[in-house]
Amino acid sequence: MHISVIGCGYLGAVHATCMAELGHDVVGIDVDAGKVDLLNSGKAPFHEPGFDELLARQVSGGRLRFSTDYADVRDAQVHFIAVGTPQSEEGYAADMTYVDAAVAGLIPHLVEHPDGPTLVVGKSTVPVGTAARLAAQVGGSPAHLVWNPEFLREGFAVQDTLTPDRIIYGLPGDPDAAEASGAVLDAVYTSMLAAGIPRLTADYATAELVKVAANSFLATKISFINAMAELCEATGADVTVLAEAIGHDDRIGPKFLRAGVGFGGGCLPKDIRAFMARAGELGVDQALTFLREVDTINTRRRTAAVELAHRLLGGTFSGKRVAVLGAAFKPDSDDMRNSPALDIANAIAGQGARVIITDPAAGPKLAKSRPDMDVAADAFEAAKDADLVLLLTEWRQFRDLDPAELREVVASPQIIDGRNVLDPAAWRAAGWTYHGVGRP
């Protein structure tokens, strides 16, 4: 099939490339000419395991190209909207500027297709009610609107696109339009459906709610175990054993139960805030008041890490050298949006310490964007003569560090394991003062 993808950021570039991998002819549209040129050269503008090779193969194979011109979508039957919905500068609500601009730019180029209806397919995470509003705009064209939310995890984006754990169609209310639209989208995802991936159909509102409900649940689970970590710190209990114990209950499960400095990135924080804002607009804000505490707990874990560092350094950051291992919000990504590691590093530096930060993927980007920060090539360079080391992003390179070797380069062997991924006994045996989150 001929497919277009509007928006070639993280979501759009990955989706476009994976659709080409499935055998479709794909054009990606973006307003950023520099990004388009980079993608057309087969190079990714972000770090994502396995993506570079896939992108280069599809571009060189001729199935995938990128453009700044909406006119290049004219042959496509299916048009995916994959632009960002960042948090508004005025409050918690999602900024719909890019979604609205994408649809407005696309509508003049929508044409009837001989093989069934033309589709405009929303993948962006939007406030519930958006699809109905956009469907009214698209309704004057020869196209139907479908909402098909994405569930990508950074670091697993290719895998999650090609082998998702479910596919959701938010279909038009008219039964004939719904049936015809579903058939076209089935053709896009033929190989996935043949592999047995579950396909669920819903109305627009339900499809929109699936993504934000899922993210809100995950955020709640993370903040719950971090709240338990606070209780463990007050009582001397071990949150890692607690998490393992409750995780054996199959109603709870073990995933997202690792206490630490909290979640970040471009999805969970802004999605739960936008969800709260939309609930307020709908007059049901009390239904989601618990998310406010979820957000508060998450922020508090960052503050707690700074306070612990302050105590370990004798009550002052002035004149101290602090190594921070990690800048991205999670490993296998260079995404620093709402990164706990970067927030903690900035707070410590702002109180007078010299902070040296390192990250295998985000480090080069940080060095360019923040020339005011000391960025080291690796953990040993960052930790040289350090009075304190903080592990804040759980990259394998950091998890696998030899504590005896690292001890040789620091001024004072103190470490805060902000992700609870190190073996406390091994580090203490190597002479370190070890501090985890919610564990003795």
- The residues carrying an active-site annotation are 267
Q: What is the full DSSP assignment across 381-418?
A: HHHTT-SEEEE-S--HHHHT--HHHHHTT-SS-EEEET
CB-CB neighbours of 294 under 10 Å:
23
Q: Which of 89, 200, 87 is nearest to 151 (CA)?
A: 200
CA dist., res. 420 & res. 431, Å (int): 18
Whole-angstrom CA distances from 298 to 291, 295, 394, 423 are 10, 5, 17, 24
CB 274 within 8 A of CB 258: no
As to burial, measured by CB atoms within 10 angstroms (0-12 exposed, 13-18 middle, 19+ buried), residue 311 is exposed
Burial track 7-33 (b if 16+ CB lie within 10 A, e otherwise): bbbbbbbbbbbbbbbbebbbbbbbbee
Q: Crossing angle for the helix pair 33-40 and 51-61, nearest 10 degrees?
A: 80
Residues in a beta bridge with 283: none
Instruction: Report how far residue 101's alpha carbon sits from residue 132's, in angstroms, rounded to the nearest whole number.
Output: 16
